[in-house]
Amino acid sequence: MDVTDQTCHDRQCQQSVITDTVQVTSFATAAAAQSYARRHSVRTAANIVVTFSPVLSTIEREQLWSTVTEAVQ
């Protein structure tokens, strides 16, 4: 579900989508994404920030993270 209108004003992001397992947010630059990720202890790849649902196991998070990083490359 696209939640850009609800979240990007506060986060200063370009787009944000959320599912039951993950939220993916894009920023204008990699530096902006990294700054946000550091402040919120979430992962970043290029200009994308990924926040995982707390219900996911560590293995599930790693599998999803691998998919994200492959897609960003």
| pLDDT at residue 11, as a whole number | 84
Question: 0.75 exceeded by the pTM?
Answer: yes
Number of domains observed in the structure of the chain: 1
What residue numbers bound the domain in which 61 lies? 4-72
The count of other CB atoms within 10 Å of the CB of residue 27 is 24
pLDDT in 10s for each residue of the chain, 73 residues: 999 999 998 888 999 999 999 999 999 999 999 999 999 999 999 999 999 999 999 999 999 999 989 988 7
Query: Residue 54 and residue 35: Cα distance in Å, rounded?
Result: 22
Write the pLDDT tens digit of every residue in 45-59: 999 999 999 999 999
User: Taking a C-beta distance cutoff of 8 angstroms, is the pair 27, 46 a contact?
Assistant: no
Instruction: Give dist(CA 19, CA 68) in Å, integer.
Output: 14
Could you tell me if 36 and 49 are in contact, meaning their C-beta atoms sit under 8 angstroms apart? yes
